Amino acid sequence: MNGRRNFFRNIFSVGAGVAAASKLARGQRAETESTAESLPVRTPDIKDLPFSLDNGVKVFHLIAEPVKQEILPGKTIDLWGYNGSAPGPTIQVNQGDRVRIVFDNHLPEPTSMHWHGFEIPNEMDGAPGSSQDPVKPGGRFVYEFTLHQEGTYFYHPHMAMQEMIGMLGAFIMHPSVARAPRVDRDFVIMLQEYAILPNISIPNTMNMEFNWLTFNGKAGPAITPLIVRLGDRVRVRLINLGMDHHPIHLHGHTFFITGTEGGPIPQTLWYPGNTVLVGVAQARDFEFVANNPGDWMLHCHMPHHMMNQMTSTVGPMTRLGKGMPAGAGMEAHNMPGMDHGEMKMNVDVSPDANSVPGFPQDAFMSGPMMAMDQMVAKPENDGLRPGWSGFIQGMMTFVRVLPPDQYQRIMDFKAAQQARRSNGNQGSGGRRHGE
């Protein structure tokens, strides 16, 4: 939150002069443009990286380090990331900015920082062995460049295995003249995947089968939904760094693909869809008018990416009332998926289920048994249908298109939560759930 505050303070104090100047130059129309220019993106569940100003240069301090990332309540894994999280904090700058990134390597091995898609001098590109020496453990490298591009970019090490243990961050370049039409909400979602055996906290970065799929470092249902107001124009920026392509699907709306990892797409080339394939190393922006009220799923449509798979064994190994359910691993006894901390086998299956070839498929993988509404309660989840969390796993969350009163209620909950936190009262995030 502090990062976001700094961002606002810095960007508005610097931006005021620019806005005034452009208003004079271009008349009244510039007013909405300069306002839109300053709209920061939000990266749910991930902080922004604050900066300081040094003679007009935006100075960021980025630290590569091992992190403990809680991807689901009770499921904390060992990743490598930046400044305490994987993915790392989001960097936001304006087109034309001079940027300095003081980079420290707190990893036990060499690394480097690559600025994906940036048109910058070769010696700033972060390609170890060619554009620079790798940054040694405990070492520092100062990157500095001027950014003339705009759009959805990202940063990562140019070390293949490090990419697969979490090292990624968003780098958003806001345009000097706002894109039209302007958006009311602007979100960033980073797509990552991990192969983690039961009872192990470290991903197997060589594995080609992934059982934990995350948006911004969280697996469903721990992902914070995108909250928008009915009628808002919404932009979602998707970034993928992994081994798989992800077809991201939105319910209830038709969106337009408006940008790639190379920046915005000219409006004449926008095309409609409800699913966008985000390939490895790609970014995709889509925009839509949230004109259809409701809690709409936003998810990867790869079936195996809509699951939290705790085990390598799936099959009819279970019988109601005894044994372990298919899909549960050895760690199932302390798996957070079960409300009240114990297996509940009250799943709706037919009496002859076990005689049906193929059973079970989803019966023990999702459903009411897997619900953990209370464990993931937070203001943004307020008012979701009871038991919702049993059906949201992996790369799944919601775009909640809310009428003004419902929207305001959630904003009030959030404000109250923040007030409690700044009072030093570290209450749990979900105390206000269900009022």
- Closer to Cu ion at the Cβ: 221 or 429? 221
> 């976001």: which residue's tokens?
4
**159 closest CA partner among 135, 192, 181, 190:** 135
For Cu ion, the closer CB: 227 or 302: 302
Structure tokens that stand for 328 in this block: 């549960």
Annotate 201-210 with b (16+ C-beta within 10 A) or e (fewer): eebebeeeeb
Q: Is-contact 93 99, C-beta < 8 A?
A: yes
Q: Roughly how many angstroms between the first and final C-alpha of the chain, as a whole number?
A: 24
Judged by beta carbon, residue 58 or residue 305, the one nearer Cu ion is 305
Smallest separation, CB 173 to Cu ion (Å): 26
Q: Is 329 exposed, middle or buried (0-12, 13-18, 19+ CB in 10 A)?
A: middle
CB of 327 to Cu ion, least distance (A): 18
Residues near Cu ion, by CB under 5 A:
246, 300, 302, 305
284 or 305: whose CB is closer to Cu ion?
Answer: 305
The closest of 52, 53, 88, 50 to 69, measured between CA atoms, is 88
Q: How far is the CB of 207 from Cu ion (least distance, A)?
A: 16
Instruction: Give pairs for 320-329: CB < 8 Å, separation 24+.
Output: 320/345, 320/347, 320/349, 321/345, 325/364, 325/369, 326/360, 326/364, 326/365, 327/364, 327/365, 328/364, 329/198, 329/199
> Could you tell me the smallest distance in angstroms from the CB atom of residue 413 to Cu ion?
31
C-beta contacts of 120-125 below 8 A and 24+ residues apart: 120/145, 120/146, 120/147, 121/145
Cα atoms found within 13 Å of the Cα of residue 74, Cβ hemisphere only: 16
Residue 37, classed as helix, strand or coil, is helix
Smallest separation (angstroms) from Cu ion to the CB of 72: 17
Helix or strand holding residue 30 (H, E): helix 29-37
Give CA–CA dist 221/223, Å, rounded.
5
Q: CA-CA distances (angstroms) from residue 265 to 148, 275, 392? A: 16, 17, 32
Judged by beta carbon, residue 85 or residue 214, the one nearer Cu ion is 214
Nearer to Cu ion, 94 or 214 (CB): 214
Work out how close the CB of 87 gets to Cu ion at its nearest, in angstroms, rounded to a whole number. Answer: 16
CB closer to Cu ion out of 274 and 292: 274
Handedness of CA 9, 12, 16, 17 (dihedral sign): positive
What 8-state DSSP symbol labels residue 135?
B
Q: Supply the minimum distance, in Å, between the C-beta of residue 364 and Cu ion.
A: 22
Query: Shortest approach of Cu ion to residue 140 CB, angstroms?
Result: 36
The nearer residue to Cu ion, 87 or 126, going by C-beta atoms, is: 87
Nearer to Cu ion (CB atom), residue 67 or residue 396: 396
CA distance 397 to 422: 28
Question: Least CB distance from residue 246 to Cu ion, whole Å?
Answer: 3
To Cu ion, the closest distance from the beta carbon of 243 in angstroms equals 10
Least Å from the CB of residue 242 to Cu ion: 9
For the chain, the residue count is 435
| CB nearer Cu ion, residue 277 or residue 320 | 277
105/397 with CB nearer Cu ion: 397
